[in-house]
């Protein structure tokens, strides 16, 4: 497979060959769903926490005697049946939501989504993105320039989850320039994961020669 490399003005700047193993996998919805739900579950941080009847303060004294009052029997005012009592089956912050995902399965799911993005025309390769200083205006002009490429017309106008920009190496100027554009996420190519691909409409890969090497290293 061969892909076009663009410059920041949206003009063709060359081509690059893509591996079938990285960009030519067939779609597998069950695999992607399994890994996606597992990754989201592993990232979950339980915060909500309720107390059981044994943790609520008080309630040590029996409200009334067992028999003879005509009322239902109760042993504590901290029963879940009482106002101010404990909570039965409530959320607990000590619950473990971790789910194991094999590395090979996770890797295959990543490249399955990447292949789907490529086949749908949602991946664009850019020769270089760099700024002398952090400038949001320059970052916006890059998006406008790339939106001139066929199929990427909404890149600069989409308000939410427009693009994930994968840069070859950490660049503070690039990161700060795109920081004020809420529809764009910038990170290094080596940190790209499946959820990043799913959460963004377009994927912009900068310095594709080095990026492809980084991505294909995951296959090893």
Q: What is the pLDDT of residue 219?
A: 87
Buried b / exposed e over 92-119, threshold 16 CB at 10 Å, is eeeeeeeeebeeeebbbbbbbbbbbbbe
Where do we find the tokens 């106008």? 157
Q: What is the pLDDT of residue 30?
A: 97
Q: What is the pLDDT of residue 192?
A: 95
Q: What is the pLDDT of residue 103?
A: 94
**Tens-digit pLDDT string for the chain (220 aa):** 899 999 999 999 999 999 999 999 999 999 999 999 999 999 999 999 999 999 999 999 999 999 999 999 999 999 999 999 999 999 999 999 999 999 999 999 999 999 999 999 999 999 999 999 999 999 999 999 999 999 999 999 999 999 999 999 999 999 999 999 999 999 999 999 999 999 999 999 999 999 999 999 998 7
Q: Tell me the backbone φ, ψ of residue 212, rounded to 5 degrees.
A: -65, -40
Q: What is the pLDDT of residue 202?
A: 97
Q: What angle do CA 22, 24, 25 make, to 5 degrees?
A: 85
Q: What is the pLDDT of residue 1?
A: 84
Instruction: Report H helices in the chain.
Output: 20-23, 29-42, 103-119, 136-146, 172-179, 194-199, 208-217
- Domains annotated for the chain, with CATH where assigned, are 2-44+97-217 (3.40.1370.10), 48-95 (no CATH)
DSSP, collapsed to helix, strand or coil, labels residue 171 as coil
Cβ-proximal residues to 118 (8 Å cutoff; 6+ apart), any chain: 3, 18, 23
Q: Provide the whole-model pTM.
A: 0.84
Q: Which two tokens stand for residue 16?
A: 């690059």
Q: What is the pLDDT of residue 220?
A: 78
């Amino acid at each position: 497979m061969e892909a076009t490399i663009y410059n920041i003005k949206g003009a063709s700047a060359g081509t690059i060959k893509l591996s079938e193993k990285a960009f030519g996998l067939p779609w597998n919805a069950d695999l992607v769903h399994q890994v996606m739900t597992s990754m989201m579950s592993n990232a979950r941080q339980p915060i909500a926490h309720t107390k059981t009847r044994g943790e609520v303060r008080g309630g040590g004294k029996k409200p009334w005697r067992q028999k003879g009052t005509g009322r239902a029997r109760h042993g504590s005012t901290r029963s879940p049946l009482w106002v101010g009592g404990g909570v039965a089956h409530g959320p607990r912050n000590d619950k473990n939501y971790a789910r194991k995902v094999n590395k090979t399965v996770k890797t295959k799911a990543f490249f399955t989504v990447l292949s789907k993005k490529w086949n749908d025309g949602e991946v664009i390769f850019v020769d270089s993105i760099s700024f002398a200083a952090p400038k949001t205006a320059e970052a916006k002009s890059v998006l406008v320039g790339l939106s001139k490429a066929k199929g990427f017309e909404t890149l600069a106008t989409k308000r939410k989850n427009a693009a994930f920009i994968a840069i070859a190496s950490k660049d503070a100027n690039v990161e700060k320039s795109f920081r004020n554009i809420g529809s764009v996420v910038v990170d290094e190519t080596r940190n790209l994961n499946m959820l990043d691909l799913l959460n963004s409409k377009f994927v912009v890969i900068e310095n594709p020669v080095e990026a492809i090497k980084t991505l294909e290293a995951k296959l090893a």
